[in-house]
Structure 1
Amino acid sequence: MKRQKRDLTSRAYVRGYRAGRAGKSRDLCPTEVNQTREQWMSGWRQGRSDYWDGYQGVSGLHCAPTIP
């Protein structure tokens, strides 16, 4: 099993970032576990900020987080 599949917090951050950058609501957070939800919300906030700043499409590639 790859390490990225085991690290749920970084996956939650990336998924939250994608949701925020897509302009989706924070109410769509898929988890209730505190640490995972916290990471998802953190990613959502960063993605939403990038969305408002206009980092979409090609201009946002340098902002997109990657799974280590």
Structure 2
Amino acid sequence: MRHARDVLEEVLGQLPPRPRSELKRQLRALDSRYVSRTLPDPFAAHRQWRSDLWWRRRLAGGRVAG
């Protein structure tokens, strides 16, 4: 999951305004589902190279979500 979301975030930064807003709208629904199925990782700041990206600070099934 994290790699795919990383790629999508990079794509968002390269899209023109209208397609970017359409993709963001789609991602909001998917991100919401992901958040509801994972837990915050209390050690993410020490573990992740990009702890500023919220999806890298989640745990899924007792593991770092991937």
Q: Same fold (TM over 0.5)?
A: no
TM-score, normalised by the number of residues in structure 1: 0.37
Larger radius of gyration: 2
> Which structure carries more relative contact order (alpha carbon 8 Å, separation 6+)?
1
| Higher strand residue share | 2
